[in-house]
Amino acid sequence: MNVSREQALFELLEEARERGIAIHSDAEAEELLDWAAMRDGQRPERYHAVALGEDIFVRAAYAGDIRMLREEMIHVEQQRAGIGTDQILEAEIEARQLMIKNRRRWAFTNREIRAMIKEIRLLSRR
């Protein structure tokens, strides 16, 4: 089943609401992402979004990015299931595999799918 990007975003936001997941893309979200990047020794522009508990914090520039939001939604569910910090690489790979599996339903482009496949290969080497 293929859906439009607009429909996929609408469904994602509805799903977040139904599951009690809050998506934040305000100044506070930007500050949190900057702090997380600094904590990890990364440049702030490398941190686009992060899932913490029942909340997704995303930079305003990515607030409508289906791939970014869908990945963080998956991470919220992974955290709910008890995936720990020692399983981060596995969780990242699993998230991408799930997005590839649901590519038509979630309206991912071929370019996004190719990027995810490349990311899985890179993550698998670590």
- Domain count along the chain: 1
- Please write the tens of the pLDDT for every residue from 86-106: 788 899 999 999 999 999 999
| Measured CA distances, 103 to 16, 39, 54, 108 (Å) | 18, 33, 24, 5
pLDDT digits (tens, 9 = 90+) for 16-75: 999 999 999 999 999 999 999 999 899 998 899 999 999 999 999 999 999 999 999 999
User: Global pTM?
Assistant: 0.87
Q: Is the dihedral of CA 100, 125, 69, 98 positive or negative?
A: positive
3-state secondary structure of 20: coil
* Domain containing residue 104: 5-125
CA dist 80 and 83 (Å) reads 8
